[in-house]
Structure formats: structure tokens, C-alpha cells
Amino acid sequence: MTWLNTLRSAGRARFAELGFPKVRQEDWRFTNLGALERTLFLPASPASALVAVDALPSVTPSHRLVFVNGGFRADLSAASERPDGVIIGSLAAVMASHPALVEAHLGQRADDAGHGPLALNTAHLADGAVLYVPKGVYLDKPVELVMIGAGGHEPLSWHPRLLVVLEERAGATLIEHHFSLGDGAATFSNGVSEITLGTGARLRHYKAQRENAAAFHLSTLSGRLEHDACYEGFLLTLGARLSRNEVRLVLAGPGAEAKLSGAYLLRGEQLGDTTTVIDHASPRCTSQQLFKGVIDDKAQGVFQGKVLVRPNAQKTDARQLSRALLLSDDARIDAKPELEIHADDVKCSHGATAGDLDEDAMFYLRARGIDRDGARALLIGAYVNEAIAEISSEPVREAFEALADHWLRS
């Protein structure tokens, strides 16, 4: 396919020009990719690693696509019945079966210039996942993407691309699990997601990342919401040595709504970066963000959240709250919430806090006979669950609570 080759070579050229971002770039001032850049990664070949199907996480009966080191594994995936016109499949397969659809959407959302990792993903574009839901169809079973990293003796990298298109009034739920099988050499997962929501479409998109301590995880999501479309997103970050979730949503049609939340639980020498840009480009849109971090040992949390309100986006309602809990003397948090507002009839606010557990609450629990560790676990658990409570899908909420709880108790 010539258009695909053109896209790839454009990505290669752009990456050659940009390279990996440096800390002197404003968007990357807190996240140093030096260690990533110094590692020589080999492109992962379609992995033949043995993965037991029952080792896979599953929330509910679902359409499941499994990828190992970025390559699609049909043997592990479960295709189930789907309504007419719905397309769920690996990018490579859908490119073969529906080339026009893929050509029309690929690279449309994520063509922002000036972003090195994104260009690198485009340069290596080969596989990934596609979810297409036609007009008026509501997909009741969630779609699960299981992204497994199986490190070998050499550092490996992969660059999956996720394409989601929901036509007018379509609806779907998408769950992403990212985890590693065992330990091994460093891995680098550099994913890009492109999401298009038509008029009145609704997408629920939940992601849990718990890769191992040798993993680098970069993820760039770019979405566009038309008139009255609604995006609900949640990012649970537990793993990886260095991770960054970058989410850019354009509220392009009037009345569009974005709800974006997340929790990052970091320990050891992990760095977890959450960067969001909500672009209010149309009137009467709302955005709500809640992010909570728990940072222990020598870990570093980064939160950068920008809300942009364009000149015509009157009646915008944008809220954002970022909170960080520092549990050790060497833990650190860098937060940069940002408002850029060019319209006057708006309500915009952000808040950011950083600190240790509330001494009064600790005392309250200790006074009731709960030991120090128990009281801490209780308070941290409640603090994290407040963010997870934003997830509207009950089975996902319970599954994510269990993951966070497991992290707290380990």
C-alpha cells in the first residue's frame, strides 16, 4: 500500500529531525528520556512466547484482542459475535479487509507535528487494533485489548497503533491491559491511539498499565469529539520504570463532554507522567479531570494538565483537580496545571495539592485501635478509590479497585 509507505517514510523523516524530546522542551521538562535514548532497542519480531489463555485478565465476557510484544496473536484472542457493521480486529487484518476505512482515518488525529515518539510510532507503523462502530449501534460487550510484553535477552521495542472510530450515536467500551510476563531485558512500548467520536457518540475507555520495572511505556492519545459526543477515560498506572500517558482531546463540536481521570501509584525508582491537553474548540463543552497520585520510595510523579479555551468556545465549563500523596522523604511530585483562556463567558478552575497523609485522620483511626500500617493502608486506599469511583462501568471499577488494592498490599 503506497499511502502507508508514504505515511511511514514521513514519520521516519520527522523522527530523524526531532529525535526524542529533551527536558529543555517545555512539555518534557520533568520527564527525562535519557535512559530510554541510551538503550539500543531491537524491533520485536512477532512473538511466539507461550502465554496461557487463563493467565489473561478479563473483566467480563468481551471481544478480546491479544498482542504479545506488539504483534497480534490470533491464537490467544477471542472473536465473538458482533452487530452488523462493527469491525474489531488487528490493524494489519483490517487494513487488508477494509483498506478504505483505515486509509481514511489513520494518521488523521495523530498528525501533530513536533512530537518525536509519535513520529517514531508512525515510522514503525505495522500492527495494532481497530474498533469501528457504525451509526446508531451500541456495542454492549466491552472490547478488551491485552498488550503483553515478553522481554527477552535483548532490549525490545514495539509501536502499536490503536484506531477507534465511533460514528454518529454509536457507543462502546474499550479496556486496555498492559503488563509484562516475567522479567527480562528492557522493553519499550510506544503506543499511539487515534479516537474519533461522531455526533452523540459515547466511548468509555479504561486503561491499566502494570508493566515490569525494566519497561519504558510511552502512550500518546489523540481524540476528536463532535457535537454532543462523550468520552470517559481512566488511566491506572502501576508499572513501568518510566511511563507517560499523554492525552490530547479536541472538543470540536458544541456540547461535547470529556471526563478524564486517573490514578498513578509509584514506588522504587519509577517515574509516572500524566500529561493532558483538553482543547475546548466549540461552545457549551464540558471537561472534568481528576488525577490522584501515590508516590513512595524514590519515585517521581509528574502531572501536566492544560485546559485551552478557544475564542469562540463560550459557556465552557472546565474543571481539573490533581492531588499527590508523598509517602517517603525521597519521593517527588512535579505538577503543572495550566489554563489558557481566550473566551470570557466561561467557568474554568483547577486545583493542585501535594502532601503527606492527614495527621488528624491518622490519629482518628489510631485512637480506634487500628495500627499505624493498617490506618495508612485504609487512608491511602480510600484516597485512591475516590478517583477510581469516577469509572462508570461497575465491573471495570471493581477490577481496577482490586488492582490498586493489590498494589497497596504488596
Using the rule CB under 8 A, is 352 a contact of another protein?
Answer: yes
Instruction: Return phi, psi of residue 35, to 5°.
Output: -65, -35
Using the rule CB under 8 A, is 353 a contact of another protein?
Answer: yes
Nearest distance from C-beta of residue 228 to another protein, angstroms: 23
**x-marked contacts with another protein along 115-154 as a string, rule CB under 8 A:** ----------------------------------------
Cα–Cα distance measured from residue 186 to residue 152, given in angstroms and rounded to the nearest whole number: 8
Closest to another protein by CB, 8 vs 336, is: 336
Using the rule CB under 8 A, is 366 a contact of another protein?
Answer: no
Instruction: Return phi, psi of residue 2, to 5°.
Output: -70, -40
Does residue 132 sit in helix, strand or coil? strand
Does residue 322 sit in helix, strand or coil? strand
Site for another protein in 161-180 (CB under 8 A): none
Nearest distance from C-beta of residue 305 to another protein, angstroms: 11
Cα–Cα distance measured from residue 285 to residue 254, given in angstroms and rounded to the nearest whole number: 6
Using the rule CB under 8 A, is 66 a contact of another protein?
Answer: no
Stretch that binds another protein, among 14-22, 114-122, 186-194, 322-330 (CB under 8 A): 322-330
Closest to another protein by CB, 168 vs 297, is: 297
Site for another protein in 254-313 (CB under 8 A): 311
Q: Are 395 and 204 in contact (CB under 8 A)?
A: no
Nearest distance from C-beta of residue 213 to another protein, angstroms: 22
| Pairing verdict, β 143-149 and 171-180 | parallel
Among 110, 218, 235, 354, binds another protein (CB under 8 A): 354
Using the rule CB under 8 A, is 341 a contact of another protein?
Answer: yes
Q: Count the site residues for another protein by CB under 8 A.
A: 35
At 226, the amino acid letter reads: E
Cα–Cα distance measured from residue 102 to residue 104, given in angstroms and rounded to the nearest whole number: 5
Closest to another protein by CB, 295 vs 387, is: 295
Among 340, 371, 394, 398, binds another protein (CB under 8 A): 340
At 5, the amino acid letter reads: N
Site for another protein in 17-36 (CB under 8 A): 26
Distance separating the N- and C-terminal Cα atoms of the chain: 49
Closest to another protein by CB, 5 vs 349, is: 349
Site for another protein in 33-52 (CB under 8 A): none
Using the rule CB under 8 A, is 342 a contact of another protein?
Answer: yes
Cα–Cα distance measured from residue 324 to residue 299, given in angstroms and rounded to the nearest whole number: 12
Nearest distance from C-beta of residue 379 to another protein, angstroms: 14
Among 49, 339, 377, 408, binds another protein (CB under 8 A): 339
Among 78, 336, 386, 405, binds another protein (CB under 8 A): 336
- Beta pairing partners, 68: 71, 148
Instruction: Return phi, psi of residue 318, to 5°.
Output: -130, 125
Handedness of CA 334, 340, 344, 348 (dihedral sign): negative
How many separate helices (H) and strands (E) can be counted in the chain? 8, 21
Grid coordinates given for 17:
529531525
Cα–Cα distance measured from residue 125 to residue 159, given in angstroms and rounded to the nearest whole number: 7
Using the rule CB under 8 A, is 374 a contact of another protein?
Answer: no
Cα–Cα distance measured from residue 368 to residue 353, given in angstroms and rounded to the nearest whole number: 28
**x-marked contacts with another protein along 215-254 as a string, rule CB under 8 A:** ----------------------------------------
Cα–Cα distance measured from residue 87 to residue 72, given in angstroms and rounded to the nearest whole number: 16
Contact positions vs another protein (CB under 8 A): 26, 311, 314, 324, 326-356
